[in-house]
Structure 1
Amino acid sequence: MLKVLFSQRMLAFHALVLVIVPSFVWLGFWQLDRWEQRSASVRLQQGNLAAAPVPVAELTGVGENVRPADRWRTVEATGTWDTERELLLRNRDGSGGVGFHVLTPLVTEEGPAVLVNRGWVERGETALDQPEVPPAPEGTVEVAGRIHYSETEENTGLSNRDGLPEGQIMMVDVDMIAGGLPYPVYGGYVELTDQEPVPDPAPEPVALHELDSGMSLSYAVQWWVFTLVAVGGWVFLVRRELSDAREAAAGAEAAGDGGGHAERPEDGEPESTGRPGNTAGETV
């Protein structure tokens, strides 16, 4: 039976199972880890959105970045808009499709400015045209919004590039933007949710991207089911090969017993001389 289990065909099958079973198990745990990470992000977002608003200076400072653990917290600030140094973020989605986000510095009463995403506006006939941007209110305003850390190529997949129209950028790289401003700038930026006074018209508020844990848990279970199927298939094939080998061996043994011996006459029965017409006892 060992010869059957270690035939060339079965060895290839054993090797295949030894490769795919650990791989399927690893893929299942990989998807489980992704699900746990996403679930942790969901809990963080929900908890931070539900937290009480705090002054922006409590969660960031000049030259600092917002901690990932503080993302989506609601912050408040009071100051004046610096619309002369307003920037447009390209390729941002809104209700009307792809357009721009309006990024305006708010110079706070404490001195430093905070970059505020005031919302989405529709683009012009082409992406190179300057869109119509509703003006920010003049004078002192009170704002509230969700705080985010600075955007980089690593955390967005975007990259700033040369040749863009003046005042247009690809992402909120706070350090780069702060280098062109005449005042200190808080780290991170804020997505505006409320302001007083309320302007009319105003850019469309940036929609909250609510996180979910995705399908990773289902994928993990699927990989582990595939593992059980692979092991079950291996057991089934091994048992079938052994059963076929036993049947073949039994058939060969039966054939050997039935055809390997000549038939002998019964006791008392005379043997034939092998010559036609002669009987036992006759002499020639």
Structure 2
Amino acid sequence: MRSFLFLVSRRWLSFAVAVVLIAWACWWLGEWQFHRLEDRKASNAIVERNESLPPAPVASVLRPGSGVSDRDEWRLVTATGTYDTDHTVVLRYATRDGQSGVDVVVPLVTASGTALLVDRGWTPSDNRGGDTSTLPAPPSGQVTVTGWVRVDATGDSAAVTDLSTRAISSVEIGKAIDTPVYGGFVDLKSEDPPAADTLEPTELPELDNGPHFFYGLQWWFFGVLAVFGFFYLLYDERRALLRGETSAAAEAMAERKQKKAAKQAQKQKVRAAYQRAYAAEREAKAGED
């Protein structure tokens, strides 16, 4: 047992604590990635189910003044009404493939008087405000739209200024246009009758599992590697002590101490030189006086 007494040194105790913390952090990060994987699978399952369902009337899925359930996102709904082009809202900074552009959000006023916010799609543009004069116009008269339900954005980005915003929120847009609106909004799939000039539709979400599984394994591997490294260095140190040699870890530590001592000595040497120069300068001034 004496050969293991080096483990109670401050160096090895500090090393052990560091390895335990690293291993715990890697385990926690791996678990976090695997939980994200499960969330991604659950979200994908909801999207797959909703995409396979036939379109439902908007009033059976959305409610005025109510948020959208996560289980209803990407559900297809239909609504009939008239586009209120005077209250078109521009979604700024909507870049695609590195090209600047905007999304065009137009309220569709239904027979009940409640408007459905319709993101009609994306168009390349340098528009930074609420100017809609150069944007493709929606169909006039009565229109039936089919679109995917989306959840409202939150936070400062959803604020509406000059009929433009950086994220779509039915709460903020409803207040800005002073019109009752359904909660959430829809990404347009089709219009009947179709518009003369169409916009690029919203892309559906990818349904892969992402990199979370491999990231989780990677973090766990790092944790195992830290523990393995600790025990390997322990073995190397004990073997060196039994042979009366210096272990690689001890040599590295000694080298670091030597470099630190040399650096400290150099600093002291420079400090002493400055002090001598300062003393000489003071003596010279005293002689002049």
TM-score (norm 1): 0.77
**Partner residue in 1 for 2:269:** none
Alignment CA distance shift 1:186-1:128 (3 Å): closer
- The 5-angstrom pairing of residues 59-70 of structure 1 reads 59-70=61-72
Number of residues paired by the alignment?
A: 242
Q: Which amino acid aligns with 2:86?
A: E
Name which of 228, 236, 244 aligns with 1:232: 228
Which residue of the partner structure matches residue 174 of structure 1?
170
Aligned residue for 2:102? 100
| Matching residue within 94, 118, 121 for 2:120 | 118
Structure whose CA Rg is larger? 1
CA displacement 1:222-258 (0-9 Å, x = unmatched) = 1111222222222222222222233339xxxxxxxxx
Q: Deviation above 6 Å: which 4+ runs of structure 1?
A: none
Partner Cα distance (2:191, 2:183) in 1: 20
The aligned runs of 1:144-163 (5 Å cut-off) are 144-153=146-155, 158-160=157-159
Structure 1: tracts of 5 or more residues without a match: 250-284
Asked if the contact 1:96–1:122 (Cα under 8 Å) also holds between the matched residues in 2, the reply is no
Return the offset for 1:45.
1.8
Q: Distance in 2 between matches of 1:33 and 1:40?
A: 11
Matches of 2:77 and 2:61, distance apart in 1: 8
Deviation, 1:174, is 1.1
CA distance in 2, matches of 1:70, 1:226: 39
Aligned residue number for residue 11 of structure 1: 13
| 1:64 partner SS | coil
Instruction: Tell me if structure 2 keeps the 8 A contact 1:48–1:73.
Output: yes
In structure 2, the partner of 1:243 is 239
2:117/2:185 contact within 8 Å kept: yes
Matched with 2:91 is 89
Aligned to 2:51: 49
C-alpha displacement of 1:194: 0.7
Q: Name the counterpart of 1:34.
A: 36
**Amino acid corresponding to residue 90 of structure 1 in structure 2:** R
Counterpart residue type for residue 216 of structure 1 = H
Secondary structure in 2 aligned to 1:121?
Answer: strand
Q: Percent identity?
A: 34
Q: What's the secondary structure of 1:101's corresponding residue?
A: strand
Structure in which a larger fraction of residues adopt strand: 1
Deviations 1:79-101 (A, max 9, x none): 11111221211111346822111
Q: 1:76–1:142: 8 Å Cα contact kept in structure 2?
A: yes
Q: 202-211 or 24-33, which moves further after superposition?
A: 202-211
Which amino acid is 2:200 matched to?
A: E
Of 199, 202, 220, the residue aligned with 1:203 is 199
User: Shift of residue 189 of structure 1?
Assistant: 0.6
Q: Which residue identity does 1:158 align to in structure 2?
A: S
2: CA distance, partners of 1:19 / 1:135: 60
Cα distance between partner residues in 1 of 2:142 and 2:24: 63
| Post-superposition offset of 1:218 | 0.8
Which consecutive unaligned segments of at least 5 residues does structure 2 have? Answer: 246-289
Larger relative contact order (CA 8 Å, sep ≥ 6): 1
Structure in which a larger fraction of residues adopt helix: 2
